[in-house]
Amino acid sequence: SQKIEQNSEALNIQEGKTATLTCNYTNYSPAYLQWYRQDPGRGPVFLLLIRENEKEKRKERLKVTFDTTLKQSLFHITASQPADSATYLCAPYSGGGADGLTFGKGTHLIIQP
Amino acid sequence: SQTIHQWPATLVQPVGSPLSLECTVEGTSNPNLYWYRQAAGRGLQLLFYSVGIGQISSEVPQNLSASRPQDRQFILSSKKLLLSDSGFYLCAWRGWGYDYGYTFGSGTRLTVV
């Protein structure tokens, strides 16, 4: 069956450092992969989408990589700030229709001042 | 710009009572609409999706149903709530094409007592 794995333990990073979150998937051949941010009590917010033929994508302090051989995506936040503290969800998508995304359980990121 | 409205924000209902949660989207037409549930400490679970009026696809057999009476309205219902129906319910929409991320509503926190 399809499986998405994200670090289940909270990730503590010191302010100013780069935070790196991992998303591994099995039994998927995603056409693209999305990353979302979720704050407590709120709905997820879309951050970035990367296609299978893109190795890397950037948006301001965010960078996403996508390795279809390793079946892995890495999500980086550079110059991290306490305001970046949240849960980050990945969602690989095989495409082909309007059926909904399946999300990983997310990694809780804590940026320590 | 597109916005998504979801209400109520919180709801406490007794076991066996009915449920109706409403979601409306503004600023777009013919969106793909989705209902997700997030139980405490768990990931997002896709419940239903809809590609048009009267078209509902169910992902998980359960005590819930969904309807789409108008293009930009999506309703989640139950005739008799169970304790296990407690959770955070999120409505989301996606525009046509694979490049778009999902836009989520603010969610409804449902507690069944």
More confident residue, A9 or A64: A64
Helix or strand holding residue B76 (H, E): strand B73-78
* Interface contact A103, partner B, CB < 8 A: yes
Tell the residue number behind the tokens 């503290």, with chain if given.
A85
Residues of A whose CB is below 8 A from B99: 49
A89 Cβ under 8 Å from any chain B Cβ:
yes
Residue in chain A closest to B43 (alpha carbons) equals: A105
Report which of residues A83 and A52 the model is more confident about.
A83
State percent of chain A over pLDDT 90: 79
**Cβ proximity of B23 and B74 under 8 Å:** yes
Considering just the CA atoms, what is the radius of gyration of chain A in Å?
Answer: 14
Given an 8 Å threshold on Cβ–Cβ distance, is B104 in contact with A45?
Answer: yes
pLDDT digits (tens, 9 = 90+) for A13-63: 999 999 999 999 998 888 889 999 999 999 999 999 999 999 899 999 999
Please name every residue paired with A85 in a beta bridge, in sequence order, or none if there are none. none
From residue A43, alpha-carbon distances to A56, A66, B37, B58, B76 in Å are 26, 25, 11, 21, 17
Which pLDDT value is given to residue B41? 77
> What pLDDT is attached to residue A93?
87
Q: Which amino acid is at A37?
A: R
Between B95 and A110, residue with greater pLDDT: A110
pLDDT given at position A83: 98
Dig out the tokens for B78 from the structure: 């139950």
Please tell me the predicted confidence (pLDDT) of residue B11: 97
Question: Which of B36, B49, B103 shows the shortest C-beta gap to A98?
Answer: B49
Q: What average pLDDT score do residues A57-73 get?
A: 96
User: Please, are residues B44 and B90 in contact by the beta-carbon 8 Å criterion?
Assistant: yes
Contacts of B109 in chain A (CB under 8 A): 41
**Percent of chain A with pLDDT strictly greater than 70:** 96
**Average pLDDT of every residue of chain A:** 93
Q: Does A44 touch chain B (CB under 8 A)?
A: yes
Give Cβ neighbours of residue A84 (< 8 Å, ≥ 6 apart).
Answer: A19, A77, A109, A111
DSSP state of B41: T
Q: Which residue has the tokens 């949240």?
A: A86
pLDDT at B22: 96
pLDDT at B60: 80
pLDDT digit string, tens, across residues B11-70: 999 999 999 999 999 988 888 999 999 988 788 999 999 999 999 998 886 789 999 999
What's the pLDDT at A78?
A: 98
What confidence score (pLDDT) does residue B24 get?
Answer: 96
Encoded amino acid at A81, one letter:
Q
Band (pLDDT 50/70/90 cuts) for residue B98 is low
